Chains A and B, each alone.
Chain A
């Protein structure tokens, strides 16, 4: 009998404790799914020939002394952030056998160069204004004019003009393009 009573009392106390343990407040909650994103810099080199057509990938053939070949070069900011822009320009002539020629006096000039917007310093030509997202630069050049004095040594030669564009953020990165840091390493 006493064991039964003891067990009954324990059960009653336990039930009471469990009842106390399950007593709940009203609570409500919500979750905020917060998102952090970084931007970046993305630019595109745009080369057009006469009439606004894309410059042909295979190049232009049959060029004669005194001839001008349309090559309008601009840079478009296709990323979400404003950017500083610079170009590098490398030119080489290959002879009929495909060997690099040693040319001391280049037989051409770049036409339509805009020195107010573009300025050469060291190995690069810098666009002096920040380029906002979606905007394009003023053309760096509009055409390549081969000189009348281009000698016979350039017969059956190939001229390669390699233009590369680089860009860095303007945010927290200098007041002018010349102060900007963090250009891609070449």
Chain B
């Protein structure tokens, strides 16, 4: 018995040692919590409250880094969701970067985009590549990209890789750029009906029927009148 306890305690100590030595692997997450709660975004090493690119900091020429973003649907008030992603361009006026670091280091959006254009980014959903190009280019990501249909506790994972050219010039040291991504969900119930958002369906049928009836009455009246005249 004592030997058993000793073995278990040794095992626990070894486990504790392994756990204390292991480096935690950080991943960012996007969780859809429901219609009322909306989204929760959780990153690490964040420079904005919604920064998912925790591994893309203090990059050096020749670096090749990746970030895993898990997206999960935990909504109780939707039976399933359809999930989309798109990127949003920046401008100096209406959609200026929100990151203080970016605004401190970059003179304007053009300077920021010049920096981002030096980098190369790929976004994978599983083994499927859904974006490739520099982070400032939005081609292919400007419109919603469908990521799938997910029931409660289902989701998907995006893997983002970023490559910094080894010959990146010194002028791009101590620079920063912001890449805005919009995650959109559509909520459905299991029966396939759309969830009502204030607009009833019945007026469509009623008004269409009314229109058809009125037109039919008109046709009848016209034909009768022609008969009478003819």
Q: Let me know if B166 and A172 touch, CB within 8 A.
A: yes
Q: Which of A6-14, A53-61, A70-78, A152-160 contacts B (4 or more CB under 8 A)?
A: A6-14
Q: Chain A residues near B57: list those with CB within 8 A.
A: 35-37, 39
A-B contact count (CB 8 A): 193
A10-B211, A25-B195 as given contacts; A32 in contact with B175, CB under 8 Å: no
A5-B217, A30-B38, A30-B182 as given contacts; A35 in contact with B63, CB under 8 Å: no
Tally of contact residues, A, Cβ under 8 A = 42
Q: Let me know if A31 and B58 touch, CB within 8 A.
A: no
Q: Chain B residues near A40: list those with CB within 8 A.
A: 170, 173-174
Residue A80 lies at the interface, judged by CB distance under 8 Å to chain B? yes
Q: Chain A residues near B164: list those with CB within 8 A.
A: 38
**A33: contacting residue among B48, B61, B204, CB under 8 A:** B48
Distance in angstroms between the alpha carbons of A29 and B217 in the assembled complex: 47
Which residues from 186 to 209 on chain B have a C-beta closer than 8 Å to any C-beta of chain A?
186-188, 194-195, 197-199, 201, 203-204, 207-208
Q: Let me know if A22 and B199 touch, CB within 8 A.
A: yes
Q: Let me know if B208 and A33 touch, CB within 8 A.
A: no
A residues at B contact (CB < 8 Å): 1-2, 5-6, 8-13, 15-16, 19-20, 22-41, 80-81, 169, 171-173, 182, 184
Q: A32-B41, A171-B62 are in contact. List 14 more A-B contacts (CB 8 A).
A: A5-B214, A8-B214, A19-B199, A25-B188, A28-B35, A30-B50, A35-B176, A36-B59, A37-B177, A38-B174, A40-B174, A81-B60, A172-B60, A184-B170
